[in-house]
Chain A
Amino acid sequence: MDGIIEISLFLVLLTIGVFAGRASERKHYRELAEAEKALRDIIVSNRGSPGEAGTFSRGTLVVGSVVIAEDFFKRVAGGLKSLVGGNLRGYETLLERGRREAIVRMKQEARRLGATHVVNVRLETASLSEDWSGRQPMFSAEFIAYGTALLRNR
């Protein structure tokens, strides 16, 4: 009896994961594409400074961050896939979304300040799901993008 309850709970979670997870992923990709389009005129570089750095009078720190988690389906599919090895597509999209979102938020902050360039950008990822007990809860990670927004003469 307990087994049946456990299996049906698993299937319910899996179904929610498949549908709700996919829907939220598609929605996120759409939102990212829109935001990136709107912020396309802000030039981002991970070099120390752009060629015209001399014409800017001020630089200030900008940061964008997001914490993003896997869904139940990704966890199960990832677990199965890692038995045979190869690309874990579900995690690839998750990490890509996180990183793009962090960059978008950093650019939005730069836009609020009226900056046209963000230079010396660094990207960081930190897993938030490991703990000392060795227990493996659901995977979640923080993504940050930060750099120096350059402003023209005021």
Chain B
Amino acid sequence: MELTTLETVPGKTITRHLGLVQGSTVRSKHAGKDILAGLKNIVGGELKSYTALLNESRSEAVDRMVEQAREAGANAIVNIRFSTSNIAAGAAEVMAYGTAVVVS
């Protein structure tokens, strides 16, 4: 599966469009990590555990999107976009979406 933020796949041509595909995850922060992050907040700087958490969420969202595209018979996803939103205290949704296509 080729993944790109472009409207085309470099070196290939799109032969069919299969429509929008998307994948998302909602994950909450681990309570223990949240306390550590709270302490880290006094000093400021990177919250490594959250960075890792959101990265995991993002790759899962991408996996789900890829799965959907595969079911539709695509071999590439173009014009991929991400978005993150905070939906409740300590929980964030990560979403990935794009257009499933067949390239050759």
Q: Point out residues on A near B: beta carbons under 8 Å.
A: 13, 16-17, 20-21, 24-25, 28, 48-49, 53, 56-61, 63, 65-72, 74, 94, 101, 119-122, 124, 126-133, 135, 137-138, 140, 142, 144, 146-148, 150
Contacts and interface: CB of A to CB of B under 8 A. Distances in A.
A146 B5 contact: yes
A150 B9 CA distance: 10
Contact of B83 (A17, A60, A74, A124): A124
Contact of B45 (A16, A28, A48): A28
A128 B50 contact: yes
Contact of A17 (B38, B43, B47, B58): B43
B84 interface: yes
Contacts of B44: 17, 20-21, 24-25, 68-72, 74, 94
Contacts of B7: 48
B32 interface: no
A88 B91 CA distance: 27
A120 B6 contact: yes
Given A48-B7, A49-B6, A135-B89, A71 B50 contact: no
A60 B89 contact: no
Interface residues of B, number: 37
B47 A68 contact: yes
B41 A61 contact: no
8 tightest A-B contacts by CB? A71-B44, A131-B89, A126-B84, A67-B50, A59-B10, A61-B3, A138-B41, A57-B11
A48 B89 CA distance: 36
Contact of A69 (B5, B41, B86): B41
B54 interface: yes
Interface in B14-68: 37-38, 40-47, 50-51, 54-55, 58, 62
B80 A142 contact: no
A132 B6 contact: no
Contacts of A21: 43-45
8 contacts: A49-B10, A56-B10, A65-B51, A69-B40, A101-B46, A137-B89, A142-B92, A146-B82
